[in-house]
C-alpha cells in the first residue's frame, strides 16, 4: 500500500496554495477525493499516538481510570496517578507505531471518517478487530478499506468552538492508541473449539494468517494451524446493536451512525423494526 500511495498521482498532495493546512495537524496534506466516496475533502497524514512505551502505558492507565488526557498534533500526553500497575504492562512493547491515514470530510452534519492505509487496519489484516465500520468502505488502489470506528455518535458530540476536523483527529489519535494496545495484548484463538490458546511473549512477532507456502519467511518463525488473534480494547465501549441503541440513545441525541442527525430522525425507526423482528423470530 505504501508503494502504491508513493507512486500514484491520484494521491500526491495538492499544492499548499490551494489547501490550507489543518490547524494543529500540519502533517496532514490535502489529496484528491477518492472516487465514489461522496466526500468534499480528503487528507492524508500520519499519527503517532505514543513517543515510547511509557507513554502508551500512561495512556492506558488514564483510559482505565476515566481520567482526561491531552492530544498534541496526534501525540497523546497522559499523566496518570503514580504507582498504578496494570496487568498488560509487560506486553506494551514497541508502542511508538506511526499510522498513515486517509481522512475524509463531508458537507452538512455528517461526521468525518478515517481509514488506516499503512499499517492497514481492516478485516483482511485483523479478522477479529472489534471496532471497524465495514458499512463505510472506501476503495484505495486495489484495496477496499473499512472506516475506523473512531467513536459512537451517541457518546461524542462536536463543540462549535473548535474546528470539527481537529476534534475528529484528536479522537482518531485516541482510537489508534487503543488499537496499538489491542495489537500488543493479542492472544491466538483456535479456529476450532477445544484447541489451546497461545499467549505470545512480550514483543514476539504476531502473524494473523498462515504463510501461503512453506518457503515463506514467516513459516520458519512459527508454523501453527490456522487461527485468529484478538486482544484487549481498553476503556468503555459504546453499546451496539438495535436493542442497545434503543435502550441507551435518546431520540434527541446524535445517531450512532455518525450522520450527525438526531437518532429519532435517522436510525431509530430502523432499530425499532429490527428489535421487533428479533422478538418475534
**What DSSP assignment string belongs to 147-212?**
EE----TTT----TTS-HHHHHHHHHHHHHHHHHHHHHT-EEEESSTT---B-PPTT----SS--S
pLDDT attached to residue 15 = 42
Considering the domain architecture, whether residues 158 and 209 belong to the same structural domain is answered as: no
CB 99 within 8 A of CB 1: no
Is the alpha carbon torsion for 26, 180, 208, 104 positive or negative? Answer: negative
In a domain, residue 68? The reply is yes
pLDDT attached to residue 184 = 94
pLDDT attached to residue 94 = 94
Considering the domain architecture, whether residues 174 and 247 belong to the same structural domain is answered as: no
Q: Which residue segment(s) compose the domain that 259 sits in?
A: 242-280
pLDDT attached to residue 209 = 58
Considering the domain architecture, whether residues 39 and 175 belong to the same structural domain is answered as: yes
pLDDT attached to residue 195 = 61
pLDDT attached to residue 12 = 42
Considering the domain architecture, whether residues 207 and 156 belong to the same structural domain is answered as: no
In a domain, residue 127? The reply is yes
Q: Model's pTM, two decimal places?
A: 0.83
Mean pLDDT by groups of 10 residues along the chain of 281 residues: 34 44 93 93 97 96 92 95 87 96 93 96 90 93 92 70 92 96 88 67 72 45 59 86 88 87 91 87 67
Considering the domain architecture, whether residues 127 and 169 belong to the same structural domain is answered as: yes
Q: Which of 184, 202, 221 is the last residue of a domain?
A: 184
Q: Give CA separation, 156 vs 136, 167, 203, 228, 255, in Å.
A: 19, 10, 34, 31, 10
pLDDT attached to residue 238 = 79
- Tell which residue, 126, 57, 128, 145, has the closest CA to residue 96: 57
Count of domains forming the chain: 3
Considering the domain architecture, whether residues 128 and 90 belong to the same structural domain is answered as: yes
Considering the domain architecture, whether residues 177 and 258 belong to the same structural domain is answered as: no
pLDDT attached to residue 153 = 58
In a domain, residue 225? The reply is yes
In a domain, residue 211? The reply is yes
User: Measured between alpha carbons, how far is 104 from 113 in angstroms, rounded to an integer?
Assistant: 5
Considering the domain architecture, whether residues 166 and 114 belong to the same structural domain is answered as: yes
pLDDT attached to residue 16 = 42
In a domain, residue 110? The reply is yes
Considering the domain architecture, whether residues 84 and 132 belong to the same structural domain is answered as: yes
In a domain, residue 237? The reply is no
Considering the domain architecture, whether residues 58 and 85 belong to the same structural domain is answered as: yes
Amino acid at each position: 500500500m505504501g508503494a502504491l500511495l508513493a507512486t500514484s498521482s491520484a494521491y500526491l498532495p495538492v499544492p499548499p496554495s490551494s489547501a490550507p493546512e489543518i490547524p494543529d495537524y500540519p502533517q496532514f496534506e490535502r489529496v484528491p477525493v477518492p472516487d465514489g466516496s461522496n466526500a468534499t475533502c480528503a487528507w492524508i497524514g500520519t499519527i503517532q499516538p505514543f513517543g515510547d512505551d511509557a507513554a502508551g502505558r500512561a495512556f492506558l492507565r488514564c483510559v482505565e481510570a476515566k481520567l482526561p488526557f491531552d492530544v498534541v498534533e496526534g501525540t497523546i500526553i497522559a499523566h496518570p496517578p503514580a504507582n498504578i500497575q496494570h496487568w498488560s504492562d509487560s506486553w506494551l512493547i514497541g508502542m511508538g507505531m506511526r499510522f498513515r491515514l486517509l481522512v475524509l470530510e463531508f458537507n452538512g452534519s455528517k461526521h468525518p471518517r478515517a481509514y488506516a492505509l499503512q499499517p492497514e487496519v481492516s478485516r483482511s489484516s485483523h479478522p477479529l478487530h472489534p471496532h471497524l465500520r465495514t458499512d463505510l468502505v472506501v476503495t484505495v488502489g486495489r484495496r477496499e478499506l473499512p472506516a475506523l470506528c473512531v467513536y459512537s455518535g451517541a457518546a461524542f458530540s462536536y463543540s462549535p468552538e473548535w474546528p470539527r476536523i481537529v476534534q475528529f483527529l484528536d479522537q482518531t489519535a485516541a482510537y489508534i492508541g487503543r488499537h496499538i494496545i489491542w495489537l500488543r495484548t493479542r492472544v491466538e484463538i483456535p479456529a476450532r473449539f477445544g484447541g489451546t490458546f497461545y499467549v505470545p511473549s512480550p514483543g514476539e512477532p504476531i502473524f494473523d494468517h498462515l504463510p501461503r507456502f512453506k518457503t515463506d519467511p514467516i513459516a520458519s518463525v512459527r508454523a501453527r494451524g490456522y487461527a485468529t488473534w484478538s486482544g484487549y480494547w481498553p476503556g468503555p465501549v459504546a453499546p451496539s446493536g438495535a436493542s442497545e441503541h434503543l435502550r441507551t440513545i435518546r431520540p434527541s441525541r446524535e445517531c450512532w451512525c455518525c450522520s450527525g442527525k438526531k437518532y429519532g430522525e435517522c436510525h431509530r425507526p430502523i432499530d425499532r423494526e429490527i428489535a421487533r423482528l428479533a422478538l418475534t423470530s
